[in-house]
A and B are shown apart, each in its own frame.
Chain A
Amino acid sequence: MATFHAGIAPRLEDVRDEFDRLWTSLTTAPPLHGWPAAPAERPFPAVNVAESDEALVVETELPGLDAGDVDISVAGDELVLRGSRAGRPEQPEGDGEQPATVTWHRRERGSGTFERRIELPVAVDATRVEARLVDGVLTVTCPKAPQAQPRRVTVRSS
């Protein structure tokens, strides 16, 4: 679960932006993208799962992570995703004359560690699980164990 939370008191701009957010949520598609700063009621990260004849595929969005930041394992009937994202303590960008200050106007992107366990409805071959992480999208392909694949039955005519 994300462990970062914003501790800034609400200001007028924030109230205005709440209305903007409300309007946007009414006029655009459902949210839960990226990594929310506040701990969400829903499990994190959100996943999409699909099943074909050959494999189970699990996809999730992990912006900012590369292969070394995520740990994927299959144990029994569970796929376990673990990882973490570091927060950024921004340094002031001065140029000699500037006061060296950093002011955060928004902190919506969270950071911290996560662990998500996804139940696998069919047996998979753990030795052949593959994962790709491209542009912040993680795709885990779990080939089904031979006994879980659909069997084609030959119909004999005599």
Chain B
Amino acid sequence: MATETQTELTYRPNVDICDRGAEVLIVADVPGATPDAIDVSFDDGVLSVHAPVPARTLPGRSLRQEYGIGAYRRSFKLGEGFDASLISAECRRGVLEIHVPRLAAVRPRKIAVRTA
């Protein structure tokens, strides 16, 4: 019986994290991951990503091995003020994009300064 993940070979994907005001956008390189099997969860201000990668081996004997193949895992501490129910994610061409919108009430507000 296989046990989950503690002994799974994992890699930390490179990410771009961009705060766009109304949302935080996280873009991660996860080549080889199966889009349907990617798990994105948000709990207590922490966004966690687990992208399993099906094993793949090249036919024949290995001549050169410059990188390994395994699942991607990474967590991000985003803090408070995000609307977990509106988080959306898309994975295309091995790139995962996660949109984490802020709750409307906590978005930075621009305050107009009136002159007397």
In the complex, which residues 53-72 of chain B have their Cβ closer than 8 Å to any Cβ of chain A?
56-68, 70, 72
* Interchain CB contact under 8 A, A57 and B110: no
Which chain B residues (5-29) contact chain A, with CB distance < 8 Å? 9-23, 25, 27-29
List residues of chain B with CB within 8 A of the CB of A99.
21, 108, 110
CB atoms of B66 and A51 under 8 A apart: no
Task: Tell me if B30 is interfacial: C-beta within 8 Å of chain A.
Answer: yes
A53 at the interface (CB under 8 A from B): yes
| A36 adjacent to B14 (CB under 8 Å) | yes
A135 surroundings in chain B (CB, below 8 A):
31-35, 93-94
Contact partners of A51 in chain B: CB under 8 A: 60-61, 63
Task: Tell me whether B109 is interfacial, beta carbon within 8 Å.
Answer: yes
Question: In the docked arrangement, what's the CA distance between A55 and B109, Å?
Answer: 61
> A21–B12 contact, CB under 8 A?
yes
What residues of B have a CB within 8 angstroms of the CB of A102 in the complex?
18-21
Q: Is the CB of B60 within 8 A of A50?
A: yes
Taking a contact as CB atoms under 8 Å apart, the answer to whether A31 and B12 are in contact is yes
- Tell whether A98 pairs with B95 under 8 Å between CB atoms, given A28-B12, A57-B60, A109-B14: no
Number of interface residues of B (CB under 8 A): 47
A57 touches B30 (CB 8 A): no
Interface SS, B side: loop
For B25, give the chain A residue with the smallest CB separation.
A90
Interface of A is mostly: loop
How far is A32 from B93 in the complex, measured between Cα atoms in Å?
A: 18
Q: Nearest residue in A to B62 (C-beta to C-beta)? A: A50
In B61-116, which residues have CB < 8 Å from any A CB? 61-68, 70, 72, 93-95, 107-110
List 18 additional contacts besides A65-B93, A109-B14, A135-B33; criterion CB under 8 Å: A47-B64, A50-B57, A51-B60, A63-B29, A63-B93, A98-B107, A98-B109, A99-B21, A99-B110, A102-B19, A102-B21, A103-B18, A104-B19, A105-B19, A107-B16, A108-B16, A137-B94, A139-B58
| Pairs A–B under 8 Å by Cβ, sample size 23 | A28-B10, A29-B9, A31-B12, A32-B66, A33-B31, A33-B67, A35-B29, A36-B14, A47-B64, A48-B64, A50-B57, A50-B58, A57-B58, A57-B60, A61-B67, A63-B94, A100-B21, A104-B16, A104-B17, A104-B19, A106-B15, A107-B16, A135-B31
Report which B residues bind A (CB closer than 8 A): 9-23, 25, 27-35, 56-68, 70, 72, 93-95, 107-110
The 9 closest A-B pairs by CB, nearest first: A136-B94, A52-B60, A34-B29, A136-B31, A50-B58, A46-B66, A63-B94, A61-B31, A108-B14
